């Protein structure tokens, strides 16, 4: 179930701690980097309803290689966005589940989806016109 969005926040309403121009430790830079990996938001979205096994994720996502899925899951685990659970079964079973930080990423993912719903067609049309 998709959480309800509150009133949109404008740039004027958000205050951040002062950082130098383009500092490498700027928190906003880390936030942008999360969405720079095209598979990370997709995996977060796919895990929104609960734990999944890697094979289920790969099938549900489509178009992602096993290598890329494994690399992205490992990175997300290091970032504490997901938790990996191993079960002592034969054959071994592994599942991935969102942590609180991972679930909180659904808020900007849903907001981006809303933006695409509102503006995506116009952006695509403008890009197509520019190619002509």
pLDDT, tens digit, 9 for 90 and up, residues 13-39: 666 666 665 666 677 777 888 888 889
User: CA-to-CA distance for 23 and 49, rounded, in angstroms?
Assistant: 36
Distance (Å) of CA 94 to CA 25, 29, 35, 87? 33, 32, 25, 6
**Span 80-94, pLDDT tens digits:** 999 999 999 888 899
The owner of tokens 């494994």 is: 70
CATH number of 26-131: 1.10.10.10
Which range has the worst mean pLDDT, 7-11, 110-114, 117-121?
7-11
Sequence spans of domains, the chain: 26-131
Residue 104 tokens, joined:
């909180």
- pTM of the full predicted structure? 0.77
Share of the chain above pLDDT 90, in %: 66
* Cβ–Cβ under 8 Å, residues 110 and 45: no
Average pLDDT of the chain, as a whole number: 87
CA atoms of 24 and 21, how far apart (whole Å): 9
């Amino acid at each position: 179930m998709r959480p309800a969005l509150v009133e949109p926040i404008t740039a004027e309403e958000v205050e951040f701690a002062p950082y130098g121009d383009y500092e490498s430790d700027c928190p906003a830079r880390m936030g942008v980097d999360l969405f720079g990996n095209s598979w990370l938001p997709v995996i977060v979205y796919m895990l929104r309803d609960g734990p999944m096994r890697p094979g289920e994720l790969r099938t549900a996502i489509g178009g992602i290689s096993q290598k890329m899925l494994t690399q992205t899951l490992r990175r997300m685990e290091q970032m504490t966005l997901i938790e990996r659970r191993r079960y002592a079964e034969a054959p071994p079973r592994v599942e991935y589940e969102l942590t609180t930080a991972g679930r909180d990423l659904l808020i900007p993912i849903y907001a981006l989806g809303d933006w695409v719903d509102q503006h995506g067609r116009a952006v695509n049309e403008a890009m197509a016109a520019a190619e002509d």
